[in-house]
Structure formats: C-alpha cells, structure tokens
C-alpha cells in the first residue's frame, strides 16, 4: 500500500489511465473482429475503421507501432484475399 501522498496520487492516476486504456484496447479488438466477420462489400469500410483505431493506439503508445503495422498488413491481406475469392 502507498504511504506517501505522491505515491497515493500515482495509484489514482494509474487507475484512471488503466481504465481509459482498457476501453481503447477493447475498441481495437472489436474493430479487428468486425473486419474479420464483415461481408466482402463492407470489409473495406471496416478495415478503414480498424486502421484508424490501430493508428491512434500506436500514436498514444498503447500498442507498439510495429504491432499496429503488422495487424494492419494482415487485415488488408485478408480483405484483399476475400475480395478476390468472391
């Protein structure tokens, strides 16, 4: 347990950040799932939303920039493959 006032404040700040980051991370996962489950016609729009969410998370250092790039690349590849298959 925190003893000093600065340590107590740090605990409060970390709790706030954790809660905010949890929502953003959940949003990323949801956006990625929407791309995976999207119909071929709506996959491009879902991909745009997922790319936007990933870029924002990478800009805020919630996820590593290379992880965001990797996820975007794999999703785009998957959407392109589905578009050719239809």
pLDDT one-digit tens code per residue, 15-62 = 999 999 999 999 999 999 999 999 988 999 999 999 999 999 999 999
Q: Is 61 left (phi over 0), alpha (psi -120 to 50) or beta?
A: left
Instruction: Name the residue ranges covered by the structural domains of the chain.
Output: 5-85
Q: How confident is the model at residue 13 (pLDDT cuts 50, 70, 90)?
A: very high
What pLDDT, on a 0 to 100 scale, did the predictor assign at position 44? 94
Interhelix angle 43-59/5-37, rounded to 10 degrees, is 160
Q: How far apart are CA 52 and CA 28, in angstroms?
A: 9
Residue 72 to residue 13: CA distance in whole angstroms: 31
- The residue among 35, 23, 31 whose CA lies nearest residue 60 is 23
pLDDT at 1 over 90: no
Q: How far apart are CA 26 and CA 11, in angstroms?
A: 22
**Model's pTM, two decimal places?**
0.84
**What is the predicted pLDDT for the residue at 83?**
85
Gap between the terminal Cα atoms of the chain: 58
Its CATH class, for the domain covering 5-85, is mainly alpha
pLDDT band for position 85 (cuts 50, 70, 90) = confident
């Amino acid at each position: 347990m925190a003893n000093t006032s600065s340590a107590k404040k740090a605990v409060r700040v970390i709790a706030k950040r954790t809660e905010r980051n949890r929502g953003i991370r959940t949003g990323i996962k949801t956006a990625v799932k929407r791309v995976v489950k999207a119909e071929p016609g709506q996959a491009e729009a879902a991909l745009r939303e997922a790319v936007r969410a990933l870029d924002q998370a990478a800009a805020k250092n919630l996820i590593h920039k290379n992880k965001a790039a990797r996820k975007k690349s794999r999703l785009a590849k998957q959407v392109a493959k589905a578009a050719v298959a239809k």
